[in-house]
Amino acid sequence: MAFSYAIKKDSVIGDMKVVAGTYASADGSTGGPIVTGLSEIIYFNTDCETSQAATVNLVAISTGTVTLTTVANEDGKWIAIGM
C-alpha cells in the first residue's frame, strides 16, 4: 500500500501561509499523512479527482500534519492555510 503527496506551491499572504499540492492513494491504499510544513492549520480542503462521487474524505489535523482517509486508489489535490 502506498500513499504519497507532493507540495506543488507555497506562498505567503499577509501573515498567513498557503501550501497546496497533490496526493495519490495507490496499490489499494486508503490515505495517509500529509506534512504541510505549517505549525498550525486554520483551513484544509481536498479536491478528489478519481473517486466515487458520494465519497467524502475524512481529515484529522494535528499541528501541521493532516491525516487524510480516502477511498482506495484515489488521486486529488489539497490546500492548507495556516501559520
Domain ranges of the chain: 2-82
Q: For residue 52, what pLDDT is reported?
A: 59
CATH 2.60.40.3940 correct for 2-82: yes
In this prediction, residue 74 has a pLDDT band, given cuts at 50, 70 and 90, of: confident
Q: Which of residues 47 and 33 earns the better pLDDT score? A: 33
CA distances from 83 to 6, 7, 59 (A): 19, 16, 19
Res. 30 pLDDT band, cuts 50 70 90:
confident
Q: Classify residue 18 by burial, with Cβ atoms within 10 Å: 0-12, 13-18, 19+.
A: middle
pLDDT at 29: 87
The contacts of residue 14 (CB under 8 Å, 6+ apart) are none
- Average pLDDT for 63-78: 90
Full-model pTM: 0.87
Instruction: Please state whether 8 falls in left (phi above 0), alpha (psi between -120 and 50) or beta.
Output: alpha
